Chain A
Amino acid sequence: MYLVQNLYEQHGKDLGLEIIAGRKGLSRRIQKAEVHRPGLSLAGFLKKFASARLLIFGRNEIDYLRQLDEKVRFERLQSILTPSTPAVIVTHFRPPKELLQICEGKSIPLFRAKSTATSLLSRITFLLLEEFSPGITLHGTLVELFGVGVLIQGESSVGKSEAALGLIERGHRFVSDDVVRLKKKENHLIGSGPELTRHLMEIRGIGIINVAHLYGAVCVRPDKQLDIVIKLEEWDDQHFYDRVGLDEKFIDILGSSVPYHVLPVKPGRDVVLLVETIALNHRLKDMGYNSAKEFNAKLLDTIAQKQRKRTIK
């Protein structure tokens, strides 16, 4: 649940918001990631008026209201300020006294902002969309290698944190250990760690360490787009692991399919190097070169050539 108060506390300063009436209504809920400039609605056209939207009054709205008759002004405002209106923002113009009056009476927070209505509208829409985008919390460790966001998953004590530590040592970047929060933005999944345990890691036998302090600011970043998921697994002799890499596997996260690799671990297999290789190979594929497919094409070509020579003979 996202309240007006949350928006005000988190972004009020950046947006230059100042509360001028209806303070009691700060606990109102913002139900939709939509912001509205009530142009036509102020003119009395209320068909399909979505009342749960945050309202922004800019210069046009204020000027229009000013030239209305006092009684009409009151009625029009009364009809668009409904119980589900989360809040009203007026850009740097003096709001009509009726607006102040109604907001105070109905406990609808009324803010004054310094910027223009258009820029405010796009900024708040962006913030709300971000807040309302679907999210999920996953168990795993998120790192960035060569610009590729890799989520390392696997059972407890399979060596996720150790692998991440090895990667950091090689100059890659660490995002979050154990808990990764993913948010869907457009078609991308952005992963980050919880504020409280940011840049912390737990290594068995050592305890909790702060990666940013130990290895420096260059080794960490607050968030990263997720590109691949690697699942570490104890080596199982019965299981047949991918030997050629022609078929690509994907995993569904919040409706996006993310390339998925199962990486078996056993003593003697350098997990850090293997994870690096998967990430590099992913980059190569992204650039349009698939080693396995390319080789297969070459092989098929060679076989076809031999076949032709034979028929000529």
Chain B
Amino acid sequence: MAVKLTCKVKVKNQLGLHTRPAAAIVKMLQPLKSSVYFTYKSETINARSIMSILMLAARKNSQIVVSVEGEDAEAAMRIMVRAFEEQFGEK
């Protein structure tokens, strides 16, 4: 059954959401089935697209609303929240 979840996360990376974190997000989402969207400053984008994530140009400490919809929504949300928390392995 398709579940829809939303959660607010914070960008913790010093340089913001730049190319490497964007690539990491897309990579993490590849095996998942759910649709994942980011909303930042009234702009909603598909998180599977690197160009869209880069377009947001989200700096450090900006708030991003992650919304996930699909059969593995819970797992996808868990992965997203943890990834933002761990700064996409960039510290």
Give the interface of A toward B (CB within 8 A): 137, 139, 156, 177-179, 194, 196-197, 200-202, 208
Contacts and interface: CB of A to CB of B under 8 A. Distances in A.
B54 A196 contact: yes
B24 interface: no
Interface stretch (B3-11, B39-47, B63-71): B39-47
Given A137-B43, A137-B45, A179-B45, A194 B50 contact: no
A179 B43 CA distance: 11
Contacts, number: 37
Nearest to B57: A196
B48 to A, nearest CB: 4
Contacts of A156: 46, 48-49
B48 A202 contact: no
A178 B49 CA distance: 7
A139 to B, nearest CB: 5
Contacts of B50: 178, 202, 208
A177 B43 contact: no
Interface of B: 19, 43-46, 48-52, 54-55, 57
A194 B41 CA distance: 14
A137 B52 CA distance: 10
A179 B40 CA distance: 14
Nearest to A161: B51
B55 A208 contact: no
Given A196-B57, A208-B19, A201 B45 contact: no
Contacts of A179: 45, 49, 51-52, 55
A194 B19 CA distance: 16
A178 B47 CA distance: 11
Contacts of B55: 178-179, 194, 196-197
A139 B54 contact: no
Given A179-B52, A196-B54, A201-B51, A139 B46 contact: yes
20 contacts: A137-B43, A137-B44, A137-B45, A139-B49, A139-B52, A156-B46, A156-B48, A177-B51, A178-B46, A179-B45, A179-B49, A179-B51, A194-B55, A196-B55, A197-B51, A197-B55, A200-B51, A208-B19, A208-B50, A208-B51
Contacts of A177: 51
A208 B26 CA distance: 14
Contacts of B45: 137, 139, 179
Nearest to A176: B51
Q: Quick one: which of B43, B51, B57 has the most chain A CB within 10 A?
A: B51
Contacts of A200: 51
Given A178-B51, A179-B49, A202-B49, 12 more contacts: A137-B44, A139-B52, A156-B46, A156-B48, A177-B51, A178-B49, A178-B52, A179-B55, A194-B55, A200-B51, A202-B51, A208-B50
Contacts of B19: 208
A208 B23 CA distance: 11
B44 to A, nearest CB: 7
A309 to B, nearest CB: 60
A156 B45 CA distance: 12
Contacts of A137: 43-45
Nearest to A155: B48
Contacts of A139: 45-46, 49, 52
B1 to A, nearest CB: 21
B16 to A, nearest CB: 12
10 closest residue pairs by CB, A with B: A178-B51, A156-B48, A194-B55, A178-B49, A202-B50, A197-B55, A179-B52, A139-B46, A197-B51, A179-B55
Nearest to A156: B48
